[in-house]
Structure 1
Amino acid sequence: MKDFATSESPAVQAQLDRLAALTLPQGRFGLETITEILERLDNPQKRLPPVFHVAGTNGKGSTCTYLRMILEAEGLTVHSATKPHLVRYNERIRLAGHLIEDQMLADLLKEVLDTAEDLHPSFFEVTTAAIFLAFSRVPADVCVIEVGLGGRFDATNVLEHPAACGIATLGIDHEAFLLRPEEGTPESPLARIAFEKAGIARPGVPLVTQSYPEAARLEVERIAGLAGAPLHVRGEDWWANIGETIEYRDRFGTLTLPLPPHMPGVHQADNAALAVSMLRHQDRVSVNATSIAEGIRAARWPARLQKLSSGPLTQYAGAREVWLDGGHNPDAGQAIARHFKARPLHLVIGMLDNKDPQALIEPLAGSLLSLTAVPIEGSPHHPAEAFGDTARSAPDIATALANLPADGVPVLIGGSLYLAGKVLKANGELPD
């Protein structure tokens, strides 16, 4: 699945067109190509300030957001790289707190593409090289970098000595890549996912994780041990009880922290706790308790249980609440279900055809008053019948919202970050 955007900047669009022409050779896995690209660029990844490197199936982008906001609350200048973009490619690269400007983005992409043309790089390798170039050329105090796919063979996994590595929640996703047959890898699907994610472990670098089922936990422990990475596991080395507040505890002491007001759901409090633990289990960047609390309060992350504002799209829904979430796997479905707590709900769903159509339907089954399937323009997607006998179809989101009964019941638009990006653009809520 390709993951591109369009740009109003002709200079950026010219490079995005070049990106769109790239293909990943079938069966090519490894870090050899990104390593060669970076060597040709004089290894910018070796000239970065302290880096926080975050992997996981769900929650890694949110964890990166908490890290960035806490570090900025401390008064530090932060570069961050997250994936995917929702509307604009620029969202992938944040320099000193601001999305990268068009001209710099165009120049960086051109430099990488020209340098690596004969290597036939992938979209992700070019993007990662551009990120490292940008981060090496603009001064900052710290970097926060999200892993793209897996960890072991992700293009970001050339970092040699981050300040800390973290692994958010684990679940089954991207099966074609992460569960492909390979000799010497775990047979259990979740253990295999853990094996891939734990591949970011580095000698002497703290590896901080959530708690996992035994098979996954043992695999993370094994990989951390082989790498020589000090491991800090939730429930064994640090604790976070989520209630009216986040009650956090580790060997350094205790903290009472606020629930994130702009990022609802227990899972977001869990992600905040992981960010806090990553900061507290490393010694290269100092952050005080006041900054931690301020950063959690300030954190925002689009299309993750985001309550949409009144706008050109939501006007079709009348007075009801309209929520947006890009989650598309069973763990994300469970997190969404926990947030709505069996409240009646209408669901408008669009999902890529390589995803499980029941990932959201099953966790929300007891709450759904209606289910409307919509297409994802430009991407192969599931038809309405994939979601069950009661699903109906609509040609677009606006029509789906307009056709809901006048009952005032909230509506969730979900199933894909591709769809979420189109919703945000249509409603005039561009990520910044």
Structure 2
Amino acid sequence: MFSLHPKLIDFDLSRLNSLMDKFDKPQNQLKNVIHIAGTNGKGSTASFLKEILEAHKFTVNVYTSPHLINFNERIRIRNKLISDELLIDILENIEAKNNNKPITFFEITTAAAFIAFQNYSSDFNIIETGLGGRLDATNIIDKKKLCVITKIGFDHTEFLGDEIEKIAFEKSGILREKIPVIIAKQRYNKAMETILNRASSIKAKVIYTEKISDRIKIGLKGKHQYENASTAYTAAKELLPAMCCLKTKDALNKVSWHGRIENIDQGEITKFRKNITILDGSHNQDGAYVLNEYLKQKPLLKWNLIIGMLNNRDIKSFVNTFKQHIHKAFVISIPNVSNSYKPNDMCSRLIGTGIETHPMKSFEEALKYSDRKTPLLITGSLYLAGYVLKINKTGIV
């Protein structure tokens, strides 16, 4: 698939539209599409919403990205990961009909999701954007039941722009005329203003999130997850006028979403640990802010840090956000990811943070030297989170 187009990201919807025409536009035959865009919280919001809908006995298909361990995680059909057999069959069909024409990896995966969801229909289809919104491959869907905009921040600025208004403009490109939109609480006023202006211009009904009580137990850690749960709850209320309060509470508590402030308390890694181990896939400033808020709530001594990041990230600013909680940092290249920072490069970029930093040859070496009795935070990338979960032999279902 990679060989068909040299660029991993290329905003041109004509390729996927042309391919989907050969399959009779499956994306426009899906029932009750909920389209989610935003910088942070898309996957968590989708997971909360999925659980609420399923608690009310509805079937749900979900398309998210990226995957952590197995590609199949991206496409969930009625509460199960797509099978290898079905996925291979769909991909072979796509390959045949595409006839070696240029197409990106994400466009192919999106095509596979649309075809799978058409063949195995559900009551609701939750579709998460990959990057941006206006020109994202998922945005070729014409018929939507509801749009959701999660928190918007600075990420992928080389593609979306380096001003929050530009980023919000791209994200709000998923909105459709007279289709309701749930807007999550925004950190930046200009982001909210941009979304509202877009909604007003196409007469899209704006629904602000209804905050749920922090006394309600939810399945994901961190105060920020109450914002994501509130966004999902508000969406569910719009979709299910007769929503059951008890079923909804149970659903919110049941949610799991790996690699998001995840406590590693079982598996292979625990053999090397005698204190708390937190894994988080954060990789941008808003993610670092969330980590800082979480660490402030933990009455512990300073943490050790294992970090690996893609080389287009500002690692110094990321770590500076929560550096007051960090004792030592062990820096690594993300295994099997060619565009991740090299350890020595990370060390040089972290000069001035005041953190004692050690370059490591591998995650396993970093784990060995990170002191099993000291609290440990592993972060910097969802790709690193996926590798760690694989090493830990964590099953994702």
Fold shared by both chains (TM-score > 0.5): yes
Does the aligned pair in 2 maintain the 1:206–1:282 contact within 8 Å? no
Does the aligned pair in 1 maintain the 2:185–2:227 contact within 8 Å? no
Residues 27-426 of structure 1 mapped to structure 2, 5 A cutoff: 28-179=10-161, 189-212=163-186, 213-233=188-208, 238-240=209-211, 243=214, 245=215, 258-260=216-218, 262-282=219-239, 287-316=243-272, 318-341=273-296, 343=300, 344-379=302-337, 380-382=339-341, 383=343, 384-389=346-351, 390-405=356-371, 408-426=373-391
Letter in 2 for 1:273: S
Does the aligned pair in 2 maintain the 1:161–1:205 contact within 8 Å? no
Deviations 1:89-140 (A, max 9, x none): 0001001110011010001111112212343111111111110100001132
Distance 1:361 1:205, change over 3 A: same
Distance 1:26 1:305, change over 3 A: closer
Question: Could you tell me how far apart the structure 1 residues matched to 2:348 and 2:184 are?
Answer: 33
Q: How far apart are residue 28 of structure 1 and its match?
A: 4.5
Deviations 1:225-279 (A, max 9, x none): 222211123xxxx441654x2xxxxxxxxxxxx231x310011111000011112
Partner of 1:119: helix, strand, or coil?
A: coil
Does the aligned pair in 1 maintain the 2:279–2:378 contact within 8 Å? yes
Q: How far apart are residue 70 of structure 1 and its match?
A: 0.7
Partner of 2:329: helix, strand, or coil?
A: strand
Question: Could you tell me how far apart the structure 1 residues matched to 2:22 and 2:171 are?
Answer: 27
Letter in 2 for 1:371: A
Question: Could you tell me how far apart the structure 2 residues matched to 1:26 and 1:377 are?
Answer: 19
Question: Could you tell me how far apart the structure 1 residues matched to 2:9 and 2:148 are?
Answer: 28
Q: How far apart are residue 387 of structure 1 and its match?
A: 4.4
Partner of 2:140: helix, strand, or coil?
A: coil
Distance 1:137 1:215, change over 3 A: same
Q: How far apart are residue 214 of structure 1 and its match?
A: 2.2
Partner of 1:153: helix, strand, or coil?
A: coil
Letter in 1 for 2:395: L
Partner of 1:144: helix, strand, or coil?
A: strand
Q: How far apart are residue 402 of structure 1 and its match?
A: 1.6
Structure 2 stretches lacking a partner, 5+ long? none
Deviations 1:288-313 (A, max 9, x none): 22222121011000000011133223
Letter in 1 for 2:229: A
Does the aligned pair in 2 maintain the 1:374–1:394 contact within 8 Å? yes
Does the aligned pair in 1 maintain the 2:62–2:77 contact within 8 Å? yes
Partner of 1:195: helix, strand, or coil?
A: helix
Letter in 2 for 1:77: T
Partner of 2:34: helix, strand, or coil?
A: strand
Q: TM-score, normalised by structure 2?
A: 0.92
Partner of 1:115: helix, strand, or coil?
A: helix
Deviates more, 1:198-207 or 1:388-397: 388-397
Question: Could you tell me how far apart the structure 1 residues matched to 2:13 and 2:244 are?
Answer: 37
Q: How far apart are residue 391 of structure 1 and its match?
A: 1.5
Does the aligned pair in 2 maintain the 1:165–1:201 contact within 8 Å? yes
Structure 2 counterpart of 1:6: none
Partner of 2:231: helix, strand, or coil?
A: helix
Question: Could you tell me how far apart the structure 1 residues matched to 2:274 and 2:116 are?
Answer: 44
Task: Say yes or no: does 1:21 pair with 2:3.
Answer: yes
Q: For this pair of structures, how many residues does the alignment match?
A: 385
Does the aligned pair in 2 maintain the 1:357–1:386 contact within 8 Å? no
Does the aligned pair in 2 maintain the 1:361–1:387 contact within 8 Å? no
Does the aligned pair in 1 maintain the 2:212–2:226 contact within 8 Å? no
Partner of 1:156: helix, strand, or coil?
A: helix
Letter in 1 for 2:174: I
Question: Could you tell me how far apart the structure 2 residues matched to 1:297 and 1:378 are?
Answer: 35
Partner of 1:313: helix, strand, or coil?
A: helix
Question: Could you tell me how far apart the structure 2 residues matched to 1:191 and 1:240 are?
Answer: 25
Q: How far apart are residue 217 of structure 1 and its match?
A: 1.4
Q: TM-score, normalised by structure 1?
A: 0.85
Does the aligned pair in 1 maintain the 2:61–2:122 contact within 8 Å? yes
Distance 1:428 1:26, change over 3 A: closer
